[in-house]
Chains A and B, each alone.
Chain A
Amino acid sequence: AQSVTQLDSQVPVFEEAPVELRCNYSSSVSVYLFWYVQYPNQGLQLLLKYLSGSTLVKGINGFEAEFNKSQTSFHLRKPSVHISDTAEYFCAVSVPDSSYKLIFGSGTRLLVRP
């Protein structure tokens, strides 16, 4: 079975500072990796995904993530955050079978302060 751990429930950061949101996963088979963002009372929107190939993945809104197989991590980074980045961020994994089920971490709330 697969699992996802997001150790930081909340990350406060000042505007224009860099940020890293941590994600570790557990799986005995290869997985696909995703980061989603959720604004209050809304659905989830895909930020980026890793399927194969280059371990550095670039997404929308200036975010990027690096897949590290040896450390089973997929940390999300942004070099300079904006107030509008304040939201809940979810890391997720799926096994590349026909079900496309996603297994989510518990989420990290990014709070950007002026």
Chain B
Amino acid sequence: DGGITQSPKYLFRKEGQNVTLSCEQNLNHDAMYWYRQDPGQGLRLIYYSQIVNDFQKGDIAEGYSVSREKKESFPLTVTSAQKNPTAFYLCASTGQANTGELFFGEGSRLTVL
């Protein structure tokens, strides 16, 4: 079945370590997104990519990096520069035919020890 796969589902990290979250989609969507979710704050956009080899910063890009080398993949790296990385991270994608509807993965919960 088509969908978005995020891995790992749970991840623990020590302070000062970088960690990469995986996001893969087989929906043939052009656009992909990373959101961060914190309790009581809704979802905030970290980065997004509309085409391969191109991406833009969202509202809270500091301390994060991304790449878009393949249409299907949009990995997110949480660097040691991110001061408060413990959160739930959601990847999403959409295509031109979907008129703004985003399709979400199951999320990755990152905890910094």
Contacts and interface: CB of A to CB of B under 8 A. Distances in A.
A binds B: yes
Given A100-B102, A102-B100, A102-B102, 5 more contacts: A42-B107, A99-B48, A99-B50, A100-B100, A104-B43
Interface of A: 4, 6, 9, 32, 34, 36, 41-46, 49, 51, 90, 94, 96, 98-107
Contacts of B33: 101-102
A6 B43 CA distance: 13
A99 B90 CA distance: 17
Contact of A101 (B41, B58, B104): B58
Interface of B: 4, 31, 33, 35, 40-45, 48, 50, 56, 58, 88, 90, 92, 94, 98-102, 104-107, 109
B28 to A, nearest CB: 15
A49 B105 contact: no
Given A99-B50, A101-B45, A101-B48, A43 B107 contact: yes
